């Protein structure tokens, strides 16, 4: 059994993963607010709880994996910065700290790398040689497994497709670039785009649906309004599908993976728009390459993050064994 911990902006979730990829024990706690210094203590407490519960069932734990929302030097197990919502974790050599604390093999990596390994080892990409996970959540991340290896890149930026431009003269992005995919297809980007459009339309249906408060507009609300025929929301959703379709085309043409998984919180809304998304991808991808790629939408769930974090530990252990 492996413990997986998914460190999210609102919840830290932990669980024990069985050899066949089932999360059989789980525990979670709200993510302590930034500056409270409680994130590390919460992670340690949840791991302790899962280890105890698992032992009680006669299934001891033999490794720990942790996925965090930021860059990680996986070889050193050290967290870089920025770490979204949990800045206090930056700079921690978390893997070594957990090994010292629990006496178990531990590894830490970026949460979307974890998701990619989880889908590859236990989910929609099981058995594939190459898989790309595009995770549309609050932000937009991606994870790459190519020819059976997780691709982290020279300094850990491998897979930052959320900040690849889909509109080269587009607006500035919060990352410092411009016209990035995240501006169009992440939860934050979709909500921001809708807010900018309702600003000049006091009578917008979407604004009424948000109780008159532009800040109450969420991506889910935009998708719902579009499904009900609201034209302003539809224009934002169309742009999201087109941008994501362009990125699927980029991924298919550039990497030619067997499987592309679209996941994250926004994927729940996208699941109803699969035909539109594939149609958009078809405008940009080589037809033969796209035909050979299975594009699948997997609505994001907390347990996928936990499963992925445990998959990190399995993958790291296997790679260490191969390298030595």
**Site residues (CB under 5 A) for Zn ion?**
163, 173, 175, 177, 180
* Closer residue to Zn ion, CB minimum distance, 146 or 164: 164
How far is the C-alpha of 63 from the C-alpha of 184, rounded, in Å? 38
* Closer residue to Zn ion, CB minimum distance, 21 or 177: 177
How far is the C-alpha of 136 from the C-alpha of 155, rounded, in Å? 23
How far is the C-alpha of 219 from the C-alpha of 145, rounded, in Å? 28
How far is the C-alpha of 102 from the C-alpha of 249, rounded, in Å? 44
- Angle formed by the axes of helices 219-227 and 231-255, to 10°? 110
**Closest Cα partner for 281 from 311, 251, 246?**
246
Q: Residue 143: CB partners within 8 Å, gap ≥ 6?
A: 110, 112, 113, 114, 115, 116, 117, 132, 133, 135, 150, 159
CB of 182 to Zn ion, least distance (A): 5
* Closer residue to Zn ion, CB minimum distance, 180 or 247: 180
How far is the C-alpha of 184 from the C-alpha of 243, rounded, in Å? 6
CB of 96 to Zn ion, least distance (A): 32
CB of 81 to Zn ion, least distance (A): 17
* Closer residue to Zn ion, CB minimum distance, 42 or 186: 186
CB of 189 to Zn ion, least distance (A): 9
* Closer residue to Zn ion, CB minimum distance, 76 or 175: 175
How far is the C-alpha of 8 from the C-alpha of 49, rounded, in Å? 18
CB of 110 to Zn ion, least distance (A): 16
Asked if 141 contacts 263 with a C-beta cutoff of 8 angstroms, the reply is no
CB of 83 to Zn ion, least distance (A): 17
* Closer residue to Zn ion, CB minimum distance, 219 or 313: 219
How far is the C-alpha of 308 from the C-alpha of 183, rounded, in Å? 26
* Closer residue to Zn ion, CB minimum distance, 58 or 176: 176
Asked if 129 contacts 120 with a C-beta cutoff of 8 angstroms, the reply is no
CB of 76 to Zn ion, least distance (A): 26
């Amino acid at each position: 059994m492996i413990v997986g911990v998914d460190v999210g902006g609102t919840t830290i979730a932990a669980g024990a993963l069985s050899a066949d990829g089932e999360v059989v024990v789980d525990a979670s706690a709200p993510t302590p607010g930034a500056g409270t210094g409680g994130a590390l203590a919460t992670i340690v407490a949840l791991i302790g709880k899962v280890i105890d519960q698992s032992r009680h069932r006669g299934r001891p734990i033999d490794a720990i994996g942790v996925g965090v929302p930021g860059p990680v030097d996986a070889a050193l197990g050290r967290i870089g910065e920025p770490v979204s919502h949990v800045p206090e974790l930056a700079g921690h050599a978390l893997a070594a700290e957990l090994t010292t604390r629990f006496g178990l093999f531990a590894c830490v990596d970026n949460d979307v790398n974890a998701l990619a390994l989880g889908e590859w080892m236990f989910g929609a990409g099981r058995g594939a040689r190459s898989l790309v996970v595009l995770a549309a959540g609050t932000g937009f991340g991606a994870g790459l497994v190519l020819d059976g290896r997780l691709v982290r890149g020279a300094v850990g930026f491998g897979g930052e497709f959320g900040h690849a431009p889909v509109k080269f003269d587009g607006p500035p992005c919060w990352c410092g670039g411009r016209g990035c995919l995240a501006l169009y297809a992440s939860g934050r980007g979709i909500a921001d785009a809708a807010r900018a459009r309702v600003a000049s339309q006091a009578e917008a249906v979407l604004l009424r649906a948000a109780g008159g408060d532009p800040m109450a507009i969420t991506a889910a609300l935009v998708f719902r309004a579009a499904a009900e025929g609201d034209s302003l929301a539809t224009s934002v959703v169309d742009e999201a599908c087109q941008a994501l379709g362009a990125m699927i085309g980029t991924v298919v043409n550039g990497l030619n993976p067997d499987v592309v998984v679209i996941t994250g919180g926004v994927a729940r809304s996208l699941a109803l728009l699969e035909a539109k998304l594939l149609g958009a991808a078809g405008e940009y991808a080589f037809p033969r390459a796209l035909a050979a790629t299975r594009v699948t939408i997997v609505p994001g769930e907390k347990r996928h993050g936990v499963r992925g974090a445990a998959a990190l530990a399995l993958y790291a252990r296997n790679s260490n064994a191969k390298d030595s």
